[in-house]
Amino acid sequence: MRGHGTAHRRRRVIGGLAVVAAIALLGYFWIWLPTRPADTSHLRVTVSDSDRFTRRQLDDAVAMLLDGKRDYRGCSIDAIVYDEAWSDRLLALEKETIESTPGSDSTVYSRGIARYGVEGMAVFSTDFTCGENAPSMGFSPGTTSGWYDFLAYDPDSPDADRGWVRIDSGW
């Protein structure tokens, strides 16, 4: 009789452990994975030389961007790129487009270029990959390339984070 009770208790313990393991597994896949902070373990950062910003200033911009992108829950941040020549071309095109189209406006122009000039701004490009929870953040599941962050360097601004003011972001 004694062996029968021990076997019964052993089955109850094993059954209880199986239930706990199943709950933990479900929690991992349905709660933790979709809501975990952005994964930056495979991040590639590429920053060109600059005629206007020091390496420290540009590194601070990358750090600020990463702080903001940690809220990309369930995503991985794959790359952040700053290429000054490309940034200047994009900002010059934005300026030319707004100035040559009376009545038009953009946040990048009105909050950024008009105040800081092209030379006071920098555009970073970010690539990231998101899982199934991406629509709740306004993204599509999968890889997103070329997310632009328009920043202005103004360390005296009350809105500055590490010396940088976020002007706008998007495609």
Give the span between the Cα atoms of 162 and 60, in whole angstroms: 6
Residue 64: the pLDDT is: 96
* Residue 146 clears pLDDT 90, i.e. is over it: no
Q: Is the dihedral of CA 28, 32, 33, 39 positive or negative?
A: negative
**Predicted TM-score (pTM) of this structure:** 0.75
Domain spans, the chain: 1-35, 37-170
pLDDT in tens, 47-84: 999 999 999 999 999 999 999 888 877 788 999 999 99
Binned at pLDDT 50, 70 and 90, residue 1 comes out as: low
Residue among 141, 161, 158, 131 at smallest CA distance from 149: 161
Could you tell me which residues come within 8 angstroms of residue 109 by beta carbon, excluding any fewer than 6 positions away?
Answer: 94, 95, 98
* Residue 16 clears pLDDT 90, i.e. is over it: no
What average pLDDT does the segment 33-53 reach? Answer: 84
